[in-house]
Structure 1
Amino acid sequence: MSSREAILKAIKAAKPYSENALPEVNILHTTYDDLDAKFASSLASVGGNAVQLESVSAVQAYIKEHYKDASVIVSTVSGLEGTKELGATDDPHTLKDVDLAIIKGEFAVAENGAVWVKEADARHRALYFIAQKLMIVVPKGEVVHSMHEAYTRVSFGAKDIFGIFISGPSKTADIEQSLVIGAHGATEACVVFI
């Protein structure tokens, strides 16, 4: 018997055993009458904003109106073009000048204003944290009540290598409990439902 097998055998032998079954947990979680309004309120409370638009062309018009100063735009959402091609570089450091990153969100969480973002090709995941402003595009109707419900929807396929919940812009209150928005990442975050 190898030392590895001996260690694993000792761990199995020392594992506590109980005749008692684990209790069933049936906790009723908070639900909201108007998921869109609750999400918008939760996101606003952490410094972000939610917008309901009808089409990709409406999103393009929104970008032109609200992000006039954004000269370097990167988009991972099909139909929304940026000014810089994300796949043109292997070095994430070249993204340091991104004014606006437009990314795809899978679904949103009304409870805390978070959005689940999952990328199959996340070789440039620094984009989510290095861009000055962040726009997350989520399909309309894809809002769940709570994180408990959200975790049941989180899944990874064979090609998925990265996922994260993003809620509002970057913020910290480490120094004298004074809130600073944009301390370690995006200074603005906008969630667009289309």
Structure 2
Amino acid sequence: MSVRENILNAIATNQPTLVPLPVLNRTAVISYEDRYAQFKSVLESIGGKTELILNIEIVIEKIRSDKANDTFIIDTISAESIDTADTIALSAFELEKVERAYIKGTVAVAENGAVWVYESQMKNRLLPFICQHLVLVIDKNDIVATMHDAYDKINVGSEGFGAFIAGPSKTADIEQSLVIGAHGARSTTVYVVE
């Protein structure tokens, strides 16, 4: 018997016994009196911005203002947006020039400040990561306490791609220097529609 076979046999005979996954009492895990306040606190602590707005029309007005200023934006929210097929077909070289991307999220998570976005909401899976400034819009009723709750509300297998996005791009090196926007959006703003 070779050394390799000896090692593999030793591993096979020394496997731990399988234990069933624990059943969590999710009501006892984490809850927040004000999920929006917790979401805002966490998102802002990781470099993002949050604003509570009365209706989606406020975001639509910001989109119109950006377009009037000749800012290259991609709007996947309003009916005034460019054709979806055009956005999907844009190459990385064309998307690299996007100053601001407006995208509707599905669910937000209070415990970590993340927002789930399906590929169909992004229109192009590169968009939220290549734009300079990312603007996400979420309904206040779609803020949940934990990731467990978030996975209950989304269907990960329904589309080819989706992502939890929490704040702007960040990286830190061994000298403990935090750099925001190093390999993705330089800023993330989440508008929460009341």
Q: TM-score, normalised by structure 2?
A: 0.77
**What percent of counterpart residues are identical?**
41
- Deviation by residue 1:13-53 (Cα, 9 ceiling, x = unmatched): x9x8x7x8726422531111000111000100011111111
Matches within 5 A, 1:34-183: 34-63=34-63, 71-79=71-79, 81-82=80-81, 87-88=85-86, 89-120=89-120, 124-156=124-156, 158=158, 160-183=159-182
The answer on whether the counterparts of 2:76 and 2:123 sit within 8 Å (CA) in structure 1 is no
- Quote the Cα distance in structure 1 between the aligned partners of 2:126 and 2:91: 10
Which consecutive residues of structure 2, in runs of 5 or more, have no partner in the other structure? 1-12
How far 1:169 moved relative to its partner? Answer: 0.5
The answer on whether the counterparts of 2:99 and 2:133 sit within 8 Å (CA) in structure 1 is yes
* Residues 94 and 149 of structure 1, relative CA distance in 2, 3 Å threshold: same
The answer on whether the counterparts of 1:101 and 1:135 sit within 8 Å (CA) in structure 2 is yes
User: What amino acid maps onto 2:189 in structure 1?
Assistant: C
* Residues 31 and 69 of structure 1, relative CA distance in 2, 3 Å threshold: farther
- Quote the Cα distance in structure 2 between the aligned partners of 1:185 and 1:128: 8
* Residues 67 and 31 of structure 1, relative CA distance in 2, 3 Å threshold: farther
Q: Which residue of 2 aligns with 1:25?
A: 23
Which consecutive residues of structure 1, in runs of 5 or more, have no partner in the other structure? 1-13
Structure with greater helix share of residues: 2
The answer on whether the counterparts of 2:100 and 2:135 sit within 8 Å (CA) in structure 1 is yes
The answer on whether the counterparts of 1:35 and 1:110 sit within 8 Å (CA) in structure 2 is yes
- Quote the Cα distance in structure 1 between the aligned partners of 2:67 and 2:29: 38
The answer on whether the counterparts of 2:170 and 2:178 sit within 8 Å (CA) in structure 1 is yes
User: What amino acid maps onto 1:138 in structure 2?
Assistant: I
- Quote the Cα distance in structure 1 between the aligned partners of 2:188 and 2:35: 19
- Deviation by residue 1:86-126 (Cα, 9 ceiling, x = unmatched): 53234232111000000110010000100011123766211
